[in-house]
Structure 1
């Protein structure tokens, strides 16, 4: 964040990167308001997704009328209510009909309760985690922040999955060796602050191959992670300090505050995904605008095609 003149608008570049890719079939869960329906159709029009709208048809049609949108050519899977919408959307994944989920006009808990269901959900061996992707005007590249939405007080092994999921998403957006800063309140190991000890353990896990694909360092305070000047002033010699691609927060409260402060005080644009399930989940807020929904769809599309490419190797 030392030189705002080096900033490159990363969200348009992410959308451009999807141009040669086929759209991914996406179950849009309960798109019963104008924001969620507009976002889904805009993502369809950009070639990011092929939506299947899951919800009460009368409410979906009412939202389309309010937003002056045409539903011609769109498949609607009828549901009774929001919980039913979430369960039916997850069922589309099990049937092989959907490659991703997009949250509509319902609470996050309603979507995630269907996703994490022990028998009918979309669990994998990896913990489910949320990654914010931010385009910060005073930072020269996309900044990924995790976890700020799902895991409240993650333990060490959960943090390992948080890191690995974020690295996988960074690879999908074209960052071959993402630099991962494990955040705490200071940059030295101090047993009275457990997050400093866990940061050191995560770095050693990466050394031993338990976390792969990225370059980890920590503990690092926020300023040291994003500012080379701050890192140099404190004598920190690190390839990650001052140049992080990924910020791993010590807990959900810290991660959420970091992300929201960058959005509302630094003017950052945001998108995000839930990872660690069988398919990526676009978990946008009901208040998010169309750009956030488009970029979240682009992230999901890039990730799905990254995984498909690996499966073919």
Structure 2
């Protein structure tokens, strides 16, 4: 797997994701404050495709008037009233605790409003650090690539990066993308140097994987972006690695780097980007107002596949 120079592949990877999600039971999804057209239409599209069964939480009058104004049929959905966005986020967390849903989905509220309720003492924390993954369909790359973390953890330390990587590996393995993903820990260079702290952390993370502190994937780093995704770049640099030139998960040094990388892929490479938050008690679909309808659908599909994988894994353990 590598960058294909001069070739523009169609966006077929999301088609496969969406088709796979349609083939399994719809996941009951608590949607928080869907009070504008884009968020409500994303819910309706995913529900019509049989990917989610939504419960809409927020000011019912506002949700209903938005649906009526934009001709979106929500008559078949359960609505739970909450006076404003903050109350909607808190109520959504309560519904998850009451086992009313297996996923959360962000509506038209700010991300930090939702995450405050998720990360509160009575929220949805686990012993794993919460992190975000962009699941990206890049036309010039041969398969789906993950970028993490580009939305939650601003300046993650070594322990946080361990969880960021483990969350992404678990998503890859449990959502049907494959097994043992190739994980590239990115920096500006591919050699370890004290002048660039992220190279030292990359080396430490690889050793942690060797010692079983990170499991389920194949790690290498530090790697610069070019030799992480392009075989020829790796060959020229003399890098011999199962990961170099073939990475499936790209781990960035910090949020700024991740955000820039994901948006560069979106706007320069015409990639689609689905967003999901991991490490909480349930997967969280984190959409943006700038997302296309296709990206919103793909985000729901990824989260549904992951929820189904977790459900099947739990059943296997119980048996």
Q: Give the TM bin, normalised by the shorter chain.
A: over 0.9
Tell me which stretches of 4 or more aligned residues in structure 1 moved more than 3 Å: 2-8
Q: Which residue of 2 aligns with 1:242?
A: 245
- SS across alignment from 2:22: coil
Matches within 5 A, 1:93-112: 93-112=96-115
Question: Post-superposition shift, 1:7?
Answer: 4.4
User: CA separation in 2, counterparts of 1:101 and 1:19?
Assistant: 18
Note the alpha carbon deviations across 1:180-211, whole angstroms, 9 max, x for none. 00000000000111100000011011111110
User: CA separation in 1, counterparts of 2:35 and 2:155?
Assistant: 33
Matches within 5 A, 1:103-122: 103-118=106-121, 120-122=122-124
Q: Does residue 160 of the first structure (1) align with residue 162 of the second (2)?
A: yes
TM-score, reference length from structure 1: 0.98
Question: Post-superposition shift, 1:312?
Answer: 1.5
Change in Cα spacing, 1:174 to 1:255, as seen in structure 2 (3 Å) is same
Q: Does residue 17 of the first structure (1) align with residue 53 of the second (2)?
A: no
Counterpart contact for 2:8–2:139, Cα < 8 Å: no
Counterpart contact for 2:130–2:278, Cα < 8 Å: yes
Q: Which residue of 2 aligns with 1:292?
A: 295
TM-score, reference length from structure 2: 0.96
Q: Which residue of 2 aligns with 1:151?
A: 153
Q: Which residue of 1 aligns with 2:137?
A: 135
Question: Post-superposition shift, 1:289?
Answer: 2.1
Q: Which residue of 2 aligns with 1:70?
A: 73
Counterpart contact for 1:271–1:295, Cα < 8 Å: yes
User: CA separation in 1, counterparts of 2:244 and 2:290?
Assistant: 33
User: CA separation in 2, counterparts of 1:6 and 1:216?
Assistant: 28
Q: Which residue of 2 aligns with 1:218?
A: 221
- Cα RMSD for the two superposed structures: 1.1
Q: Does residue 169 of the first structure (1) align with residue 179 of the second (2)?
A: no
Question: Post-superposition shift, 1:5?
Answer: 4.8
- SS across alignment from 1:181: strand
Q: Which residue of 1 aligns with 2:263?
A: 260
Q: Does residue 61 of the first structure (1) align with residue 64 of the second (2)?
A: yes
Question: Post-superposition shift, 1:308?
Answer: 1.1
Q: Which residue of 2 aligns with 1:279?
A: 282
The answer for unaligned runs of 5 or more in structure 1 is none
Note the alpha carbon deviations across 1:109-157, whole angstroms, 9 max, x for none. 0000000001x20000000000001100110000100000000000001
User: CA separation in 2, counterparts of 1:286 and 1:30?
Assistant: 13
User: CA separation in 2, counterparts of 1:81 and 1:6?
Assistant: 44
User: CA separation in 1, counterparts of 2:38 and 2:136?
Assistant: 20
**2:208 counterpart (205, 208, 211):** 205
**Count of paired positions:** 312
Counterpart contact for 1:123–1:278, Cα < 8 Å: yes
Q: Which residue of 2 aligns with 1:183?
A: 186
Counterpart contact for 2:41–2:72, Cα < 8 Å: yes
Q: Which residue of 1 aligns with 2:254?
A: 251
User: Which range is displaced more, 285-294 or 109-118?
Assistant: 285-294
Note the alpha carbon deviations across 1:70-101, whole angstroms, 9 max, x for none. 12121100010000010001111000001000
User: CA separation in 1, counterparts of 2:187 and 2:306?
Assistant: 29
User: CA separation in 1, counterparts of 2:42 and 2:51?
Assistant: 11
User: CA separation in 2, counterparts of 1:184 and 1:153?
Assistant: 14
User: CA separation in 1, counterparts of 2:185 and 2:221?
Assistant: 5
Counterpart contact for 1:4–1:139, Cα < 8 Å: no
